[in-house]
Every structure is written in structure tokens, then in C-alpha cells.
Amino acid sequence: MVLDTADPDLGIATSVTLDDWPLILVDRHLSNGRHLVLADTDGLHRLWLRDTSPGRPLAYVIAKDASLDLRLAAVRRLDRRLAGAPPAKLPRGFMPTAFQRHRLSLLLDIIDMAKDREYPEATTYDIARALLYVDMGVGRGTDWKTSSERRRTQRLMEEAFALRDGGYRTLLRG
């Protein structure tokens, strides 16, 4: 979520003080502003304050794109908390489910293994044995080439590489 100095014509008189937030997990001052991750019982708030001048009124900057509904929900959620409202259930799309987290972790492990120096030329078979079928004996030769395990491994590798090559952007939209 992006916050920037409010235009004086908007008539915003109050400033936002985030230094009083109960738990700030990340607080980085970079050349393009201040980046924060605020802990909350209902989930994290990720903020980018483009103007770091203290005491200035801030306004939410919301990009009009395919994620507009999710961005508006994030703004409402933070605004409620800043006004003192109790935590609420996260809107749908904010966090992956347990199954999605497990699958994404697996895909990241596949990407890591495929580019790892320890496995410079990791084959489909190597990835299957190391990550997918650890406790199961995966056959060699014709058994492997015609197996459903090999096809599943190939599909997961394709999905992992698609994620790496730009597909991760769809995750950001929820």
C-alpha cells in the first residue's frame, strides 16, 4: 500500500503516526521512501511511505489496475486499524491457503534445485527423488519414462519455471 503527502486542496489536517504501531517487523529508509511491514493479529500491513517528512498529512495512493478491489480492501483494513477498530478477518485473496503455501514452497524448492550448484544439471528424475517421492522408490529406465510420477514432476517443473519467469505477478493480485 502506498502513502504519499496529501495535496493541501484535499483539506486533510491529520497526519498518520506509524511509529506508535505495536510491532513493526520491517522499517527501511531507502532512496524512494520508507518501507514498513506492520504486524497485526489479523495479518501484516505492507506500506510504502513515499514522503518521510514527519507530521505531514498523508493520503493513500491507489493504482487503478486489475488488483483495484484488493488494494481498496487493504486500504480499508489499515484505515480501520488506524482508527482504533479491532482486527477483522482478512479479506479473501490476502493470504494463500495452507495447501497453496505448501505448493508454492514446493515450486520454489524445484526452482532452487534446478539452479543449485550442488545439482548443476538436475534432471527430472533427480528432482522427483529429492523433492516429490522421497520415501518412495522411483524406478529407472522404461519404468520411469512411462510413469505418472515423471509426468507429474514435469508438470510441476513447468509450473515452477512459469512462476519464475513472470507468473509470480498473478500471486500478487490475490
Beta bridge partners of 77: none
E strands, the chain, are 2-5, 24-30, 33-38, 45-49, 58-61
**Closest C-alpha among 171, 135, 118, 129 to residue 153:** 129
pLDDT in tens, 67-85: 788 888 888 888 888 888 8
Break the chain into its structural domains and give their ranges.
2-82, 98-172
Question: Is the pLDDT assigned to residue 148 strictly greater than 60?
Answer: yes
pLDDT in tens, 11-40: 776 777 777 788 889 999 999 988 999 888
**Residues 127, 110 contacting (CB under 8 angstroms):** yes
